[in-house]
Structure 1
Amino acid sequence: MTIELEYSSSLNGASYLLFELKQVIKLKQQGLTLPEIRKKVIDGNLFQFENKGRMNRTLPSIMRRAEVIDQVLTDLMLDGSVENAKIINLYAIMKTDRLFFEFMNEVISEKLHNNDLLIEKKDMNVFFTAKAEQSEKVANWSETNIEKLKRAFMQVLFESGLLKDRRGKELSRLIIDEQIKEHLIRIGDAKYVYAMGE
């Protein structure tokens, strides 16, 4: 079942968050319900945030990501390598954030498939301009919000291993574990594998 996602700028407050996602996945693995997980995370400050406001901003995104990670991916995320966990987190971000998925699909994968390994400011600008023309919602976002989103997108690229260094422009190819790749294709999510450059 595909849920048609709205465009959202939630990545501003909840960009990569791999450690936090793993905490939620562990609780989900123990059989806790979503309300129980939420309570445990907040009461125990499992994300180790100093700011409660940040917890309230990031938790909904992390819970949505945890929902799209099935048992096979849960096992691979908790028992596999850090690289596997990064790939699964990237998949979960794309699966729950339409704008970021479209960015990966229309900009990053196209670059990787064409052997153009530079992501430049103009690529971001062209993408966001096109989205503002296609969507009234995006068109109504402030310039500040869009600038923050561009930084959040670059942060996700860097932390997932797609960007060689934090301030750089050079893209790296991801090495996606065969088990993850085959599983995503089997469950009908091949488009996310393609968006990661495969």
Structure 2
Amino acid sequence: MNKNKYSADLVNKGFWFTEFKKTIELFNEGMSGKDIKIIQKVENVYLAPSADTGRRMASTLVKRVDALPDEVIENFLSFDIGTQKMINLIAIMENNRLFFEFMYEVYREDRLIGKKELEDSSLRIFFKNKVQHNEKVASFTDATLKRLAGAYKTFLREAGFLEVNGKINRYQLPVMDQALEDLLQNSEWQPYYKAIMGVA
């Protein structure tokens, strides 16, 4: 499971669902991660606004897809869009330890106790706890932590897990495809299933 070091790199990365889907298509066509990085440099398949952004996107998206089980990659296009977005969120969680812990410790816990909304105070408490217990997170500036909180909410909204009404971020209950549920529940990926579905 996710043993990556804590990172604030999500402040510079997007949910990038369309690009994630494109990356999986390229993998399923037989391309390697190296091939995808080259084709992005030459053809700008992600329609990035600059070469630097394109390189960062290609590197990030290849890592996200690489992290997934082969069965998920091979069957990705057979899933509905909601499930595909869920898989993208799982890939982000696998590549970013801090975001995974937010999903497991905040989102999952909120769902378990029946909370209807993601409150800004929950994010502040989460980051405060990490700051107190980890030197790396303690080195993040307040501005970085605020940007991370914004990124986390954006990812949940784009994945279909939050509905925004003014300043209220109301939880939406995700529906997981049975095939994906079976795969996650019967593998080392079970913590991701629990985080996403909000179960014990």
- TM-score (structure 2 length as normaliser): 0.92
Deviates more, 1:32-41 or 1:69-78: 69-78
- Residues 3-54 of structure 1 show CA distances to partners (whole Å, capped at 9, x for unaligned) of 5210111211213111111111111111212111110122111111222232
Is 1:49 equivalent to 2:48 in the alignment?
yes
CA separation in 2, counterparts of 1:15 and 1:153? 10
CA separation in 2, counterparts of 1:115 and 1:130? 22
* 8 Å Cα contact 1:11/1:149 also seen in 2: yes
* 8 Å Cα contact 1:13/1:58 also seen in 2: no
Residue number in structure 1 paired with 2:103 = 104
CA separation in 2, counterparts of 1:176 and 1:69? 16
SS of the equivalent of 1:169 reads strand
Deviates more, 1:74-83 or 1:11-20: 74-83
* 8 Å Cα contact 1:15/1:153 also seen in 2: no
* 8 Å Cα contact 2:24/2:73 also seen in 1: yes
Which amino acid is the alignment partner of residue 174 of structure 2? L
Is 1:182 equivalent to 2:182 in the alignment?
yes
Deviates more, 1:133-142 or 1:72-81: 72-81
CA separation in 2, counterparts of 1:59 and 1:30? 16
The ranges of structure 1 where at least 4 consecutive aligned residues each deviate by more than 3 angstroms after the TM superposition are none
- Residues 62-81 of structure 1 show CA distances to partners (whole Å, capped at 9, x for unaligned) of 11111012332123322221
Which amino acid is the alignment partner of residue 114 of structure 1? I
Deviates more, 1:28-37 or 1:166-175: 166-175
* 8 Å Cα contact 1:163/1:172 also seen in 2: yes
Residue number in structure 2 paired with 1:11 = 10
Given the superposition, is the C-alpha separation of residues 144 and 56 from structure 1 closer, same or farther in structure 2, using an over 3 Å criterion?
A: farther
Please state how far the C-alpha of 1:57 moved relative to its aligned partner.
2.9
Please state how far the C-alpha of 1:115 moved relative to its aligned partner.
0.7
Residue number in structure 1 paired with 2:194 = 194
CA separation in 2, counterparts of 1:23 and 1:42? 15
CA separation in 1, counterparts of 2:40 and 2:53? 13
* 8 Å Cα contact 2:37/2:59 also seen in 1: no
Q: How does 1:73-112 map to 2 (within 5 A)?
A: 73-112=72-111
Which amino acid is the alignment partner of residue 36 of structure 1? D
Please state how far the C-alpha of 1:137 moved relative to its aligned partner.
0.8
CA separation in 1, counterparts of 2:183 and 2:111? 22
Identity %: 25
- Corresponding residue pairs, total: 197
- Listed as ranges, the gaps of 5+ residues in structure 1 are none
SS of the equivalent of 1:170 reads strand
Is 1:26 equivalent to 2:33 in the alignment?
no
- Listed as ranges, the gaps of 5+ residues in structure 2 are none
Is 1:171 equivalent to 2:171 in the alignment?
yes
Residue number in structure 2 paired with 1:64 = 63
SS of the equivalent of 1:90 reads helix
